[in-house]
């Protein structure tokens, strides 16, 4: 009798999950899908030469090639490569600085720090085209310090050095090393990335579904991966396999939540 009474009085855990539980679940899912960029999980597509050059720079195989400049359109992998390179340098026990236009002055190393850096250290600067005047001045000095100490240097921007709206001597410095243009991934390469990420998170992704996603939704990788993450969560909550109909159902639900007046999709 006591056991039966307790069973009747105990609420279903699924029915007692409140907003905090949902928020915690959402955070866990986001963390699970937030893979850190590495050189190994970079999909080169047409950019295999850039990946090889970056690996060679990190290995220090050629002392004369300690500087690399990468340029290309958005979503061509520039930030991935810079973050992955810094992570690789740190994993090898070396100092690494990842800078950009949004980095506050306190995050920028001093000339003395870079001058004293041991070989194997790395200075990386993303979105150089957006650096303001003081950042350009500082970067000019840091580049010279890195060149003297043997610290590796890699920068990325949206155009070749000659086309950047930067101070002349900084454009010249950026062009001293190897300069390589990157290309955005084509659809086949994007499908490979989506399939790899989905498999790593236990989400079966059929070819027809990946093609539908690429044909009907935002094509930058960040948006595509976020869509997969949300689809995985939706599939788990509804106990269904990921499919085109399930994706349409999820998107229809989003539309109704954002616009309660909109009719449900058949």
Q: Which two tokens stand for residue 181?
A: 């243009």
What pLDDT, on a 0 to 100 scale, did the predictor assign at position 263?
54
Q: Is residue 39 part of a domain?
A: no
Q: Please report the DSSP string for 169-223 in residue order.
A: HHHHHHHHSEEEE-----HHHHHHHHHHHHHHTT----HHHHHHHHHHS--SHHH
Radius of gyration of the chain (CA): 24
Q: Is residue 264 part of a domain?
A: no
- Picking from 129, 164, 181, the residue at the C-terminal end of a domain is 181
What pLDDT, on a 0 to 100 scale, did the predictor assign at position 18?
41
CA–CA gap between residue 118 and residue 60 (Å, rounded): 12
CATH classification at residue 227: 1.10.8.60
Cα three-residue angle 76-188-72, rounded to 5 degrees: 15
Helix (H, G, I), strand (E, B) or coil at 127: coil
Number of domains in the chain: 2
Asked if residues 245 and 255 have their Cβ atoms less than 8 Å apart, the reply is: no
| Co-location of 92 and 200 in the same domain | no
Rounded to 10°, the helix 187-200/221-238 angle is 40
What pLDDT, on a 0 to 100 scale, did the predictor assign at position 222?
82
DSSP designation for 151: -
Q: Is residue 143 part of a domain?
A: yes
> Can you give the pLDDT of all 266 residues of the chain as single tens digits?
333 333 333 344 334 334 444 444 444 444 455 578 999 999 999 999 999 999 999 998 676 789 999 999 998 999 999 999 999 999 999 999 999 999 999 999 999 999 999 889 999 999 999 999 999 999 999 999 999 999 999 999 999 999 999 999 999 999 999 999 999 999 999 999 899 889 888 888 999 999 999 998 887 888 888 999 999 999 999 999 999 999 999 998 877 776 655 555 44
What pLDDT, on a 0 to 100 scale, did the predictor assign at position 250?
93
Q: Give which of 153, 156, 132 is closest to 75, Cα–Cα.
A: 156
| pTM given for the model | 0.77
Q: Is residue 54 part of a domain?
A: yes
CATH classification at residue 74: 3.40.50.300
What pLDDT, on a 0 to 100 scale, did the predictor assign at position 21?
44
Name the residue range of residue 163's domain: 48-181
Does an H or E element contain 249, and which? Answer: helix 244-258
Asked if residues 75 and 189 have their Cβ atoms less than 8 Å apart, the reply is: no
| CA 164 to the chain's CA centroid | 24
- Picking from 138, 163, 181, the residue at the C-terminal end of a domain is 181
Q: Is residue 14 part of a domain?
A: no
CA–CA gap between residue 150 and residue 89 (Å, rounded): 14
Q: Is residue 15 part of a domain?
A: no
């Amino acid at each position: 009798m006591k056991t039966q009474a307790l069973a009747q009085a105990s609420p279903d855990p699924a029915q007692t999950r409140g907003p905090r539980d949902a928020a915690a679940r959402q955070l866990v899912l986001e963390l699970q899908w937030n893979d850190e960029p590495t050189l190994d999980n970079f999909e080169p597509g047409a950019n295999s030469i850039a990946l090889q050059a970056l690996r060679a720079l990190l290995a220090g195989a050629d002392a004369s090639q300690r500087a690399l400049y990468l340029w290309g359109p958005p979503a061509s992998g520039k930030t991935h490569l810079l973050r992955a390179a810094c992570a690789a340098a740190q994993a090898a026990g070396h100092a690494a600085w990842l800078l950009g236009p949004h980095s506050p002055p306190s995050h920028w190393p001093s000339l003395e720090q870079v001058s004293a850096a041991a070989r194997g250290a790395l200075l990386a600067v993303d979105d150089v085209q957006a650096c303001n005047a003081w950042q350009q001045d500082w970067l000019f000095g840091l580049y010279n310090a890195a060149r003297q100490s043997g610290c590796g240097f890699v920068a990325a921007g949206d155009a070749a050095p000659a086309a950047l709206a930067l101070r002349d001597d900084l454009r010249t410095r950026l062009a001293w090393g190897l300069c390589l243009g990157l290309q955005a991934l084509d659809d086949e390469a994007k499908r490979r990335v989506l399939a790899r990420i989905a498999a790593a998170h236990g989400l079966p992704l059929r070819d027809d579904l990946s093609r539908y996603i690429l044909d009907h939704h935002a094509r930058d990788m960040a948006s595509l991966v976020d869509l997969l993450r949300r689809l995985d969560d939706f599939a788990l909550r509804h106990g269904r396999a990921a499919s085109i109909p399930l994706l349409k159902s999820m998107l229809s639900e989003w539309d109704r939540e954002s616009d309660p007046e909109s009719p449900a999709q058949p």
